[in-house]
Amino acid sequence: MSIESVNPATGEVVDSYDETSESQREDRLERATETYAEWRETPIERRQGLLSEAADVLRGNVEEYATFMTEEMGKPIVQSRAEVEKCAWLCEYYAEHAASHLQDEVVASAPEARTVVVHEPLGPVLAIMPWNFPFWQVFRFAAPTLAAGNVGLLKHASNVPGCARAIEDVFREAGFPEGAFTTLLIGSDEIDAVVADDRIAGVTLTGSDGAGRAVGETAGRELKKSVLELGGSDPFVVLEDAPMDETVQAAVQARLLNSGQSCIAAKRFVVVDDVYDEFVDRFVEAMDEQVVGDPTDERTDVGPQARPDLMDELHEQVEKTLEAGGECRLGGEPIDREGAFYRPTVLTDVPEDAPADREELFGPVATVFRVPDEAAAIEKANDTRFGLGASVWTEDLERGERVARRFESGLAFVNELVKSDPRLPFGGIKDSGYGRELAEDGITEFVNTKTIWVQRAGGAGTEMVE
């Protein structure tokens, strides 16, 4: 069978790719296992050098890779190029810092012994990745995983098979051995069998909380390490002393980045009463100014939704919210044109338990809530089953940090939109998952942190306590 890649802006088939057959899957799993036996022994300086080569490959082919993204999932071309550049930066980060993150640590212990903590790779790691950042999500798994001495297998989203193949080619062209990074073009119904396979040492997933629960259940049953980066409904808290010009500008960007299809996008705008009317008026005006259209056009701010069915789901959430009593201040409907385009939308007066209050809206739809004061803003920000990111906007930095510390989230920003950075750990709590990606935390997720105790025979007696 074949997988078709369809351009969401035009509905045209971009290309078709052969699915990985059961026998091919078996061959690739076996090859990955064999490669791991050699790769784990490869000096880390060599692994770092190859990551540096991967960064060069990415930058040398930026237009090709950016075009793949834009054609397959509709990301505006300017943002696609930026995504490729960010992947190169990530490779360079681990090319520089992997050895220091993984170096042995001598720990003071018993005076007659030398105790060392070392980090050893686990084996082949399966990554189940989404379509919304089709290069970045993969590279933030692959770069630290490969640097640590593991090998990677990728099950990418079915609507970005060209991106999946292109990423495999990046590592091959950079000089990584065959089997160090392998793409499996398989269906979701095959994931459980791969996770359960004895050759897989761990699994990481970025996606919905439903998918995360299913993968986490299988990994838990098999006693395998897992990292889950799931959905989010990030609050964007605006206090009465917020710098309004910068706040409104950032609010638009935070909601519409990647055409609104980002787990760390600001989705719930929580605004104190003193500045609520001013914020809403200016926010609606700024959202209305955004250019929606052809994602290959440099001037486009918002492209299509990645698939027509995803746009339909988003519109259903909006309609149910309005039926429940919410008010639509802008947009609220698909654009009458070819392609899966949805108008930038602002909802207000949303009742509790309406979809826009409780569910993640994965598209260019913002929900604004009025609250009386800071305490109520924090309460509303935390009133969600998600806990990925959050931001607060205020002129008082001490106040901002105090509020940030009270957010129930894995990421908290003051006067900046929530974003990922190779130098900082990334991940969430509650229904947004567990584990961390990026920085030192990301590279040590899939390693065996081993304690080594070295002592002369006939030394001090052994304590009979576990």
pLDDT in tens, 66-125: 999 999 999 999 999 999 999 999 999 999 999 999 999 999 989 999 999 999 999 999
Cβ neighbours of residue 193 under 8 Å, at least 6 residues apart?
none
Catalytic residue among 71, 92, 229, 445: 229
pTM, 2 dp: 0.96
Residue pLDDT, tens place only, 131-153: 999 999 999 999 999 999 999 99
Q: What is the C-alpha separation between 114 and 71, in angstroms, rounded?
A: 57
Catalytically annotated residue among 87, 91, 163, 263: 263
Instruction: Please confirm, yes or no, whether 96 is among the known catalytic residues.
Output: no
Please write the tens of the pLDDT for every residue from 153-196. 999 999 999 999 999 999 999 999 999 999 999 999 999 999 99
Query: Tokens 């509020």 map to which residue?
Result: 403
| Top-confidence residue, 459 or 351 | 351
Domains by residue range for the chain, with CATH? 2-230+432-452 (3.40.605.10), 234-414 (3.40.309.10)
- Cα 8 from Cα 304, distance rounded (Å): 6
360 is catalytic: no
What is the per-residue pLDDT across 5-56, written as a single tens digit (0 to 9) for each? 999 999 999 999 999 999 999 999 999 999 999 999 999 999 999 999 999 9
Strand partners, 448: 120
pLDDT in tens, 426-447: 999 999 999 999 999 999 999 9
Indicate if the alpha-carbon torsion angle 46, 148, 231, 397 is positive or negative.
negative
